[in-house]
Structure 1
């Protein structure tokens, strides 16, 4: 009996180790894919296109478009390494052309813009086309509870100068009767949504504060939020909440209407 138990434990340990090795191996393969991938030159792309039919290029572009749309449903960024490995595959010599055609499809058909938010890791996301006045960013006017939660978190960060300790977020949410220590009927694990889901989606950055004991973390806006969220709208929201003119917060008003990211400036000018 004892021998059988030891054997079972050994098998479980072995299985766990195998899963960890497979997971580690998968990550390494993606990193290798990125390291070995060289962006094809214009002449290489041209030669690659000459070997393929129009139908083949269109089909591969359609597959890439569908892959991005599938990932975008959960707001998950797409790395170039995974795109080349799982979708582009043998068509890597015309990768730039496929991305260019996919970007054109997103803009013309879906009103979306394909944006590279991390040039080092070559990470892409889809955002609402910033040049289309009729389209509002998904976080400008919250229409569902989870988006509303994100809007509140971004508002706190913006009003406090761009970076806050995580405890301030939890304290604010408790005031709104959203207790991070309890399971919420709409959000489930609130802390996990904020520090994991919103971070993976690149709406937030969750960073350890150096030299703190016990360990502390800070939260700031992520690159997707910089592209999609209007600071002017956030200030309007805060003004309505406190029944004050948004201009009474001088620094925030200046940031929202003056020194903005290029994407936000484009959105603001298109909405006037």
Structure 2
């Protein structure tokens, strides 16, 4: 059962999807649920000693876990691979939220991306549906929180750091982050998107 748990974590980690204890018990442990703590302890030991990963519980109320690369965080490097275009996009958003004090209206994020020639209202040749990725995928992965702002009419939303971002980045100094941070707050980069900018970014 330990090997099945390890495989399940690795499979979920490919898409950066957090693992819920309820799903582990239902789909993996099944009749072994009574020894759940022991199986998790063994899996954690294998990950740490064999893979250099650590199982971290990011939501103690709902028992949600993610894998963190101990080797990268020990060296002071972000656990998020910013070389990937999608992760680069995530770094831009996280940096804006950080600099704005922890919460940013979504219109600020969309305007920032437009300065980088990434229009959330248009399909990007590398990123695809940007708005869906930011408001759904990154939220599902627990990198971002997408929260409705109370008493707004029409309804407005804001972004915050998600539980996974807090664990992987520890809100470290933005100066230690990669080029995406500087691009988010400097002149637009020369890399063009696949489409012309539009004037709106409706949900």
- Scaled by the length of structure 1, what TM-score is found? 0.63
Do structure 1's residue 224 and structure 2's residue 194 form an aligned pair?
no
Does the 8 A contact of 1:128 with 1:137 survive in 2? no
1:235 CA drift (Å)? 3.0
- Scaled by the length of structure 2, what TM-score is found? 0.83
Query: How many residues matched?
Result: 183
Does the 8 A contact of 1:128 with 1:135 survive in 2? no
Pick aligned residue for 1:186 from 101, 121, 126: 126
Post-superposition CA distance 1:104-138 (Å, at most 9, x none): 11111111110111111111111112796347333
Aligned to 2:83: 143
Gaps of 5+ in 1: 1-59, 244-272
CA distance in 2, matches of 1:130, 1:228: 12
Q: Hey, which of these two has a bigger chunk of strand by percent?
A: 2
Gaps of 5+ in 2: 187-203
1:236 CA drift (Å)? 4.4
1:232 CA drift (Å)? 3.9
SS at match of 1:202: coil
* Larger RCO of the pair (alpha carbons < 8 Å, separation 6+): 2
Aligned to 2:201: none
Pick aligned residue for 2:26 from 80, 85, 105: 85
Aligned to 1:152: 92
Q: Which has the larger radius of gyration?
A: 1
1:171 CA drift (Å)? 0.3
Equivalent residues in 2 for 1:164-203 (5 A)?
Answer: 164-203=104-143
Does the 8 A contact of 1:129 with 1:135 survive in 2? no
Aligned to 1:98: 39
Pick aligned residue for 1:67 from 3, 8, 26: 8
Does the 8 A contact of 1:128 with 1:136 survive in 2? no
Pick aligned residue for 1:120 from 54, 61, 77: 61
Does the 8 A contact of 2:55 with 2:66 survive in 1? yes
1:211 CA drift (Å)? 1.2
Post-superposition CA distance 1:233-257 (Å, at most 9, x none): 52345885579xxxxxxxxxxxxxx
SS at match of 1:125: strand
SS at match of 1:180: coil
Post-superposition CA distance 1:183-233 (Å, at most 9, x none): 001111101111100001000000001111111001000111111125445
SS at match of 1:115: strand
